[in-house]
A and B are shown apart, each in its own frame.
Chain A
């Protein structure tokens, strides 16, 4: 316990009353946050606000060049919601997100539990190797997998053929029934390490005494996982769900590199829709912004649902 000398206490009291008095904790925190706040407003909020502004105006190339945007109200939103392709893209996005996020969470917990076994030397090597996919740029990852999936010359078909598992090559990315799932695999492969790292960090923060007490109470491995590990992982799982859902909803690079939305509309996702509407002639920036805003709104709602469903239960 710290003992404050009477002289020091008097001096502090004087400073508080004088011109150079000490700032309250609240104000201090506010001023310390101002630079970050300004940065976020400029870098994140301003583009979002500007996109919102564009979404209620008629914006093509000519308007952007002139800087004059006729106000259209909700027209762009109406056109997006009337477009059947938008709904197809949204449906594909939901399927893609559900598959990737659920797979990631399950795999991340399983792999993190494995590499958390400090007694096994391979787990240390695995910990290092597991980070590699995360270091690969998304577009490069897409291109690598596009080669892997190639119908006639792809590595994947070559393996299956060599092992005698197939007589004819499989058209992974070109078949409408498999294309969307063909895109999920490279995406999961690239983003899984992020989830593993988070879960692994959370696992290391769980006190060993809890497991010991559970063992004393006769709990076996599965019950220890279910009643000790999983509840304590919930906050981090909530974070993973929120972040991975937001990112999976905005998947773009793998689509661009592997399928470009095809075959047909089998892999049109929401971000691809916004991109095509905005950057392909007739370059309807207003409509593209509207579709992106709808997407952002959906991600926001989903984040709230996750927070309420997963996070709160842990804090209670």
Chain B
């Protein structure tokens, strides 16, 4: 089929779909095959090559770069680093005056990147409005900043608990905990019975949402937040965040000694791998997609035995969306937008290729409602966990910014550095939870000065 024929066909399809979009009838099926949208048209300008700067995730970037080159004849270079090193890599490339067409960000770095002029708004670009309409609530809270769309979603995740079903059976516990007291009971029993030396593995490694996310989630689940709507901290004496930290610290060595010491080092995937060794009863609360590691026979000796579980009480939890964005250091805005869509939007065929691939291959959630409501999720996640249980938890999730609204502030990043330090000191018994929270309250002003 010649390009001309494709273009004519695409145009007619675009008109139909444009009208449909105008009538607001884009339903769940919109995740697939809208070949006639602006995503299928070549920009008028010419470029020799494009590039993106991202953090590593399997081979997804090699595949999407190849597809882009096959579709548009433009070579795509990639700079890929680890998740924790990505902000550094991106910052140094930007500072050095290098060309960067597309990059990505966690919601925690994003306000900084925007504030420092790395991010270009995409509102005026063809098809951007349609994407925005399809954003989930999480995505809107990250990608739409002061009324401007600043990015497209990479993936979404919610915080869940995992348990090792065989160990539960061994302990003659018929169902996972429904209260935090019950959680402690189960863990103490597991330790006392000699079934598990360290019944719980937390994700408490240093990071932006690893250790902090665990504390945010448990505080939010208990009905607390870290800041009120006016931006005042909620870490004072008697606050839910402070009491949660006291409870959490008590599970470590100086208290009940039921927490795995590895907790302080592990990140999301490494904790899932460690849990796969079958030495812990519970793991959590953290990103739901850890199941695709813990239940993968190639990576886990206890594959198939790791189950998902919601949080106590009303089941409130938190979620997050990471984003791709158009860099202000791009070489050609139209082409960079085209590449951005391949990573965070639709490919030439109109599919959310990347989002669907991530759901099927890596159990990641999408930042698009149409993908979340599609069979890509239901079928894609099924090999690793109870999809309906996870989606039920998803419905009870609020964006992480609701629990800790400082994520919208540029000073959140340096404050998180301090949070990681103070909370780890608290969990290892060097300081009390009260001292930790007091230090963090003082640290807010320090973090603001660093920006």
Contacts and interface: CB of A to CB of B under 8 A. Distances in A.
Given A283-B91, A284-B450, A263 B112 contact: no
A176 B91 contact: no
Interface in B393-437: 410-411, 413-414, 417-418, 420-422, 424-425, 427-428, 430
Interface in B81-136: 87-88, 91-92, 94-97, 109, 112-113, 115-118
B264 interface: yes
Given A264-B428, A265-B421, A282-B451, A61 B262 contact: no
Nearest to B116: A61
Interface in B221-238: none
A114 to B, nearest CB: 37
Interface residues of B, number: 44
B262 A65 contact: no
B449 interface: yes
A152 interface: yes
Contacts of B427: 263
Given A261-B206, A263-B424, A280-B413, A65 B265 contact: no
Interface string A21-64: 00000000000000000000000000000000000000011101
Nearest to B420: A262
A274 B206 CA distance: 18
B277 interface: yes
B446 interface: yes
B363 interface: no
Interface in A208-254: none
A260 B83 CA distance: 14
B425 A265 contact: yes
Interface in B248-284: 260-262, 264-265, 274, 277, 279
Contacts of A268: 421
Given A65-B117, A281-B87, A282-B450, A174 B262 contact: yes
A58 to B, nearest CB: 11
B interface secondary structure, majority: helix
A59 to B, nearest CB: 9
Which of A174, A265, A283 has the most B CB atoms < 10 Å from its CB? Answer: A283
Contact of B95 (A64, A79, A151, A281): A64
B245 interface: no
Which of A262, A281, A282 has the most B CB atoms < 10 Å from its CB? Answer: A281
A173 B424 CA distance: 13
B430 A176 contact: yes
A61 B91 contact: yes
A292 to B, nearest CB: 15
A65 B94 contact: yes
Contact of B274 (A83, A152, A176, A264): A152
Nearest to A79: B449
Which of A152, A268, A280, A284 has the most B CB atoms < 10 Å from its CB? Answer: A280
A151 B261 contact: yes
Contacts of B371: none
A303 to B, nearest CB: 30
A276 B450 CA distance: 12
Contact of A285 (B87, B95, B411): B95
Given A62-B117, A261-B421, A282-B410, 5 more contacts: A61-B118, A151-B265, A152-B262, A264-B424, A279-B87
10 contacts: A61-B116, A151-B261, A151-B265, A168-B197, A175-B261, A175-B428, A261-B206, A265-B425, A281-B112, A282-B115
Closest 8 CB pairs of A and B: A264-B425, A281-B112, A64-B95, A279-B88, A264-B424, A61-B116, A281-B413, A171-B261
Interface of B: 87-88, 91-92, 94-97, 109, 112-113, 115-118, 197, 206, 260-262, 264-265, 274, 277, 279, 329, 410-411, 413-414, 417-418, 420-422, 424-425, 427-428, 430, 446, 449-451
